[in-house]
Structure formats: C-alpha cells, structure tokens
Amino acid sequence: MAKGTGPAGGASAPRRRQEKLGVVVSDKMDKTVVVEVQRLVMDPLYHKYLRRRSRFMAHDEKDECKMGDRVRIEESRPLSRRKRWVVREIVERASAE
C-alpha cells in the first residue's frame, strides 16, 4: 500500500494539530514565550482532583505576548531544540497594574 493512502485507497486526511490554552510565564527571549498549561488529574486512590502543569516554549513571531497573557498555542514542526508550539492568538491581555 502506498504511503499516505487509507484502507479504502483514498488519501488520508492530514492530522489535526493539537491546541492548548495557557498563561505566558516568561517573555524574556526573542520571539519566544514560555506558556504554562494547567490540567486537572484525578488521584486514583483518593479521587481528589490534583492540578498538574506543563510548560511549553512557543514561537511568537511578532513578539507581542507579555507576561500574564492568556494565549492559545498550536502544535507545529520543530522550530528549535525545545520549541514545537506556535502562538495562534492572544485570548486575554494581562491587566496593566
């Protein structure tokens, strides 16, 4: 079977890119931000929800994200050793205090 063809012989649809919503925790790098994504995981024994966090380096082409902004990031090809995400949109700006 040729590469990229499904079982019915037609071409398979491209994989949908994963998206995540998180908060910018660092914007010190050039065109790169660190986004922290939180998720809830249930403890298997005590059935309590625990907060787990993951930090992703994301490419910010226009360098417009600031610390505290809520952003949507999308999976992409590897851009550097640790950067595999791209900032798609700024959902909510951080409050200027």
> What HEC string does the chain produce?
CCCCECCCCCECCCCCCCEEEEEEEEEEECCEEEEEEEEEEECCCCCCEEEEEEEEEEECCCCCCCCCCEEEEEECCCCCCCEEEEEEEEEECCCCC
Condensed to tens digits (0 to 9), the pLDDT of residues 9-43 reads 666 788 899 999 999 999 999 999 999 999 999 99
Condensed to tens digits (0 to 9), the pLDDT of residues 43-67 reads 999 999 999 999 999 999 999 999 9
Look at residue 5 in the predicted model and tell me its pLDDT.
59
Confidence check: pLDDT of 84 > 60: yes
Look at residue 51 in the predicted model and tell me its pLDDT.
98
